[in-house]
Each structure stands twice: as C-alpha cells, then as structure tokens.
Amino acid sequence: MRLGMSEKKNYQEAQAFSAQSVSSKAELEEWVRFPRREIYTSASHWVPPLDQDLQHMLDRKKNPFFRYGEARPLLVRDAQGKIAGRLLAHISYRHITRHNERAAFFGYFECREEVEAGRALIEAAAEFGRERDCVVLRGPFNMTAMQEMGILQSGFDEAPAVDETYTAPYYPALLEACGLQPAFPVTTFRIDDVSTVDPEILLGGERQHRLLADGHLRIRSANTRDYEREFETLRELLNDSFYQNRYFVPITREEFAFQIGPYKRLMDPTINLVAELDGVPCGFVVTVPDFNPLLKQMHGSMGPRSLWTFLRGRSHVRDAVLIIMGVQQQLQNRGIMRVLHAELIRALCRGGYRSLTITWVADENLGSLATLKALGARPLHTLSLYERTL
C-alpha cells in the first residue's frame, strides 16, 4: 500500500515510539526517575516522590494491592532508545466485584509533549486491559482510593500540598489527542489563614448546637498511645463513610497499614480528630503537616543529607493538609461534619498552624462544597480523570 507524504510521516512517527514492560532493576530505576529528569525542572511546583516509596509500591511481595490485583509498569522509548514516557497499567479485581465494572486503570502517568509517545503508552495500557476482558480504561489513578489521582486542569501557579497531584500543563491536550475524554472533575481548596475563620460560623445551625448541647457528641484527638486500635477505628469509619462514593473500594487492614503506617511518626495527633456519639466513634478527620516544601528539597532521595534536611525542618512546618474525613453513612447530614470542621479549625489555631489545604473534593459532592464555602476556602487546583472505552 502506497502512502502519501503526510501519511508516511505520521506512520514513521508512530513507528518511532515503542512501549515495553519494565523487566529489570535498571529499567525500574529509569521508570522511577524519569519525571524529574525529563518532565519537571527544579523551578516547577512538582514535588518528587521518594524513590524508595515508588519502588516499595511496585514490590509485589510487600504491597498488599497485589493480593487482589495486577500491575504492569511500562516505558515508552523513541527511535534512539531514549525514554519518552512511563505509566503503570493496573487492575483491581476488588473494584470489578464492588462496582460490577470491568475497568482497567493507569497511574503514575508522565510523558514528553509528543502525541505518538503518549499514544504508545495509552495503547499499551489499553492492551493490558483488553487482555483481562476490561471494557474501559481510566486514569491517572495510582492503584487505590487512598492515593493521588487526576490530571491538573488549572492552578498550575499554585504549589501542591502533601498527597496532592501536580502534572504538566500540556497533559490534558495530550491525553485527549490519545483518545481519552475528561471524567469525574474534582477541586482542591485552601484556607490561607486559619486564624481568620470563625468556627461558630459552622455551628450556626440548630442541629449542630443541639448535638453539642445535649452532650451526646464528643470530639477528641486521635489516641496515638493505642495506635493499632485507633487506626483500625479510622479504617472502619473510612470504609463506611466512603462506601457509596464513585470508584471507592473498601481499604483492607493490610492496605491501610501499608499506606498509612510509614507516616506514624510524622503525624500530629492534635489535628487528627475522632467524633464520638454516645461514646461510639462515628466520624473522623485525618490532617497532617504539609511536608512538601521539605520533600522538594530532598529531590526524591532518602540519603543522609536529605534526611537531615527533613528532620531539621519538620518542626518548623506551619501549614497543614486535610487528607481525608468522613462520617458514618447513617449519621450523615446531621451536622456532625460541620462540628468536626469547627473543632479542626480550633485545633489548628491552638497548634500554631497558619494554613489548611483540603485535598480533592468531587464537584458532585455538594454538601462538602457548601461547608468549604462557609469556611472561606478558595479553590486551589482543578483536576480530572480521563477515560476511554476498550
């Protein structure tokens, strides 16, 4: 078959990129380090994750995700053999069972601004899904609901906080050129000065005052002296309160320990709160100091010098990040969430914290958006998942 000049050029460009599975320790190291070498400069707001954290995440013997799922790290190279992009194709059989949806996911997406490189990566992820009888490909979604997700749409001039996604400005156009469409928009928020927020604004409703006045509702700090029991309580509350959320799959005890455990020594229990109704836990707030400025200085390394940088600076962190919060389904819309928010503001002020960043809230979550508006939180970043049928 004879090709015209433009068709021949497109064909040659498509042939110039090939996606392959990571098959050696050296390739895994290339996969881990690619973004900071090829996509983001030191002037970017992007914060490199720790190399050992990513390697740990992909370890099939250590990560409990692999008891219920599969994953394939992929690299795409140009005609000269230079890496042009990476992603992780993965599938959770627990998601398939929970949502009755044969979906494959991709995460950790990073790619040069070259459409054919992106297409080679996405097609390799799609083939991974088709091999497992999936009918949709969706991402970026980093393996579980407790990890980062989405592609940044706006707010590129704002630095991300811990557990927030930051991606290159050209990714939305690149992914659409690869045949994916936006799905599930979310927004992050920030309160620049928590000392200006009046907690009483959140307690203005009759329901909130009644909850507090009758003495049945109590808000307490997390009990780190009984760490195992407390975090199991948080896991159970998380699974109950998020059960109906889109894409959410209940977190197993092993997954929760794997993802939260390493942060045990870094958490400030005074800004992690538990709501109890008649002595029974019914709601929670998980908030951590924003260590991202320190992590950025570490450049992905846990060497002695970078570790010293972190240890020296962590006591001076005055910004906080609300990672996740929830209330048991049967008690939602009764004002408990607003009471938790009010007590969190008070705890942050007592602890000398300056700002509060709220990780993503779905645009369809009108209740949470109303509470954030009452708090005076401003939109920080907008993000979206992308998907296509297979």
| Statement: residue 2 has pLDDT above 70 | no
| Statement: residue 372 has pLDDT above 60 | yes
User: Residue 48: which pLDDT band, with cuts at 50, 70 and 90?
Assistant: very high
Q: How much is the pLDDT for 158?
A: 96
| Statement: residue 173 has pLDDT above 50 | yes
User: Residue 220: which pLDDT band, with cuts at 50, 70 and 90?
Assistant: very high
Instruction: Yes or no: say if 365 and 300 are a contact pair by the CB < 8 Å rule.
Output: no
Share of the chain above pLDDT 70, in %: 90
| Statement: residue 265 has pLDDT above 70 | no
Q: How much is the pLDDT for 211?
A: 62
Q: How much is the pLDDT for 45?
A: 96
| DSSP code for 226 | G
Q: Kindly report the CA angle at 121 between 117 and 122, in degrees rounded to 5?
A: 115
**Residues 95-148: tens digit of each pLDDT:** 999 999 999 999 999 999 999 999 999 999 999 999 999 999 999 999 876 788
| Statement: residue 195 has pLDDT above 90 | yes
pTM score: 0.90
Summarize the confidence of residues 357-383 as an average pLDDT: 93
The more confident residue out of 9 and 259 is 259
Give the strand pairing for 217-221 and 273-277: antiparallel
Instruction: Yes or no: say if 137 and 107 are a contact pair by the CB < 8 Å rule.
Output: no
| Statement: residue 218 has pLDDT above 70 | yes
The DSSP annotation for 176-223 comes to HHTT-EEEEEEEEEEES-GGG--GGGGG-SHHHHHHHHTS-EEEEE--
Q: How much is the pLDDT for 59?
A: 94
Please report the domains of the chain, with CATH numbers, ordered by start residue. 5-185 (3.40.630.30), 191-382 (3.40.630.30)
Query: What is the residue-averaged pLDDT of the chain?
Result: 89
Tokens of 303: 């060497």
Q: Which residues pair with 74 in a beta bridge?
A: 21, 87
Q: How much is the pLDDT for 209?
A: 55
* Cα maximum dimension of the chain: 82
Torsion of CA 80, 82, 85, 90, to 10 degrees: 90
**Residues 78-88: tens digit of each pLDDT:** 999 999 999 99
Instruction: Yes or no: say if 174 and 111 are a contact pair by the CB < 8 Å rule.
Output: yes
Q: Which residues pair with 11 in a beta bridge?
A: none
Q: How much is the pLDDT for 267?
A: 83
| Statement: residue 381 has pLDDT above 60 | yes
Q: How much is the pLDDT for 11?
A: 47
User: Residue 284: which pLDDT band, with cuts at 50, 70 and 90?
Assistant: very high
Q: How much is the pLDDT for 3?
A: 36
Report the interhelical angle of 253-260 vs 227-241 (nearest 10°). Answer: 110
The three state secondary structure string of 13-55 is HHHCCEEEECCCHHHHHHHHHHHHHHCCCCCCCCCCCCHHHHH
Q: How much is the pLDDT for 306?
A: 67
| Statement: residue 250 has pLDDT above 80 | yes
User: Residue 225: which pLDDT band, with cuts at 50, 70 and 90?
Assistant: confident
Tokens of 251: 């977190």
Share of the chain above pLDDT 90, in %: 70
Summarize the confidence of residues 326-339 as an average pLDDT: 89
| Statement: residue 6 has pLDDT above 80 | no
C-alpha 15: how far from chain center: 34
Q: How much is the pLDDT for 287?
A: 94
Give the contacts of 312 (CB within 8 A, at least 6 positions apart).
none
For residue 122, which amino acid is it? I
- What ranges make up the beta strands (E) of 205-312? 217-221, 273-277, 280-289
| Statement: residue 205 has pLDDT above 70 | no
Report how far residue 214's alpha carbon sits from residue 194's, in angstroms, rounded to the nearest whole number.
28
Q: How much is the pLDDT for 210?
A: 62
Summarize the confidence of residues 154-172 as an average pLDDT: 96
Identify the weakest region by mean pLDDT among 121-130, 145-154, 159-168, 211-220: 211-220
Give the strand pairing for 151-154 and 136-139: unpaired
Tokens of 206: 């009759």
Q: Whose CA is closest to 273, among 289, 286, 257, 264?
A: 286
User: Residue 206: which pLDDT band, with cuts at 50, 70 and 90?
Assistant: low
